[in-house]
Structure 1
Amino acid sequence: MPQIFIPQRFNGPPDTANGGYVAGLIAGEMRKAGIEGAIEVSLRAPPPVEAAMDLVIAGGACECRHGDAVVGTARGVEALGAVPAAPTLAVAAQGRENFPPVADHAFPYCFVCGPSRTRDGLCIFTGRPHGYDGVTDVWTPGSDYAEADGLVREAVIWAALDCPGAFAIGFQERPMVLGRIKGQVLRRPEAGAPLIVAAWHLYDDGRKHGAASALFTADGELLAQTEQLWIELK
């Protein structure tokens, strides 16, 4: 039975693993089991850090368990739809100028978007640039996020596309947690190259909110994309 283990470093909310990172690890194990294409991961409980979780993969689906509790489920799904064209690198770089201040951040130590994690986090600070309908930032993944082949690890790509969706919805005004993420990685980029991260608000339904996100090369080639369901905290 395969297992995944999330070190404390890869947290989202305090003492909880980043949902996108967890989803990326699950997707990677499903691919090892022969399940290709887009993967949809639904989180049923907060994924723990510093604890092993068992993966039960059968019939094109997966259960992620921590003891007797089902933390999440996953399944292969159809390919995601088209995304808007990428902003230019110059426009994308303007996004972080409008990222909310640390005082307005519900989870300032999040591995992906935490402004208090400038030493060991991804530091993806997506905000709204002028003239673009979404939130953006430029992210240059370091070599410590790459496999031996020099390409960025799949779980890190999923993590990078997680939090931007929440900021496209308005995380700073209404904190929320990830409930479901559907994603596909088309091509893993090399570490050390600047990449464009963008995300868009899709819908609101009470405390449920939808978003989509994408990762592009500096020239606008689509590398990976997600569609997400976020649950607003009470």
Structure 2
Amino acid sequence: MFIETRFCGPDGSGNGGYVAGLLAGHVAADTVTVTLRLPPPLAVPLSVTPEDDFGNSVRLWHGEQLVAEALAGAIVVPPVPPVPYEAALEAAEKFRTTESHPFPRCFVCGPESDGLRLEPGPVGDGTVASPWTPAEAPSPETIWAALDCPGGWAFDPAGRPAVLGTMTAQVTALPEAGEHCVVMGLARSREGRKLHAATAAYGADGRLLGRAEQIWIEIDPDRFRT
């Protein structure tokens, strides 16, 4: 596996959702749980090793360092419901007024990136929404990426940044290029520095594209300061 530099989250490391989606592609399951053990390194060869004979579990390595683990998972709660595309557009305006962005070059939500440029703004208590119109037909790992950052923004990470720790996701459909999609994020609960979030993506006709349950970990704001 190889993560190109444009697919970063924090500077110098891969976007958690995108990396998780790449690794999930090696698991023979519709729903996959990925746990990130280290910041995924960029632009270096990484190896994927099977952990069983059935394709239900794999690990990602950088040399002898364990970067991530993926295994067949399950989601038993309903997905975050969508808001209309017009409401997501209004929410994006609020995102643009955010005073600071912890990871401005993030592939998914960074205002200085050439990536998805999602703008998850508030639409309710602990709920955010972002419009998304993919320029080209997305791959499954791109859907995983889109399902990443709105979960973190549901907790307003500008003051206290957080990074993705664990993500259980399923991709159910792929949108077309130019389709008006909506990506939702919901803050479920907090346990100290551990944040539980949920995300979901919907197509223009309201069909579910994918959904995720996540655990985020708050970090020292100086750790990735640029």
| Fold shared by both chains (TM-score > 0.5) | yes
Do residues 142 (structure 1) and 135 (structure 2) align? yes
**Superposed displacement of residue 133, structure 1:** 5.6
In structure 1, what is the Cα distance between the partners aligned to 2:9 and 2:80? 27
- Residue aligning to 2:116: 122
- Contact 1:10/1:17 (8 A) holds in 2: yes
**Superposed displacement of residue 100, structure 1:** 5.1
Aligned AA for 2:59?
A: E
In structure 2, what is the Cα distance between the partners aligned to 1:102 and 1:16? 23
Do residues 165 (structure 1) and 151 (structure 2) align? yes
3-state SS of 1:128 partner: strand
3-state SS of 1:52 partner: coil
Aligned AA for 2:48?
A: L
3-state SS of 1:25 partner: helix
* Backbone CA RMSD of aligned residues: 1.5
- Contact 1:37/1:79 (8 A) holds in 2: no
What do the CA deviations read for 1:191-226 (whole angstroms, capped 9, x no partner)?
221101111001100010010000001232111000
- Residue aligning to 2:187: 201
**Sequence identity, in percent?**
40
Of the candidates 44, 49, 53, which is equivalent to residue 42 of structure 2? 49
In structure 2, what is the Cα distance between the partners aligned to 1:179 and 1:84? 20
- Residue aligning to 1:149: none
Do residues 179 (structure 1) and 165 (structure 2) align? yes
Which stretches in structure 1 are left out of the alignment for 5+ residues? 147-151
What do the CA deviations read for 1:49-70 (whole angstroms, capped 9, x no partner)?
0011111123211110000000
Q: TM-score, normalised by structure 2?
A: 0.91
In structure 2, what is the Cα distance between the partners aligned to 1:70 and 1:84? 32
**Superposed displacement of residue 189, structure 1:** 1.6
- Residue aligning to 1:26: 23
Aligned residues: 217
- Residue aligning to 1:68: 64
Q: TM-score, normalised by structure 1?
A: 0.88
What do the CA deviations read for 1:89-140 (whole angstroms, capped 9, x no partner)?
11121111111546511111111111112xx2111010113x5761001101
Which stretches in structure 2 are left out of the alignment for 5+ residues? 221-226
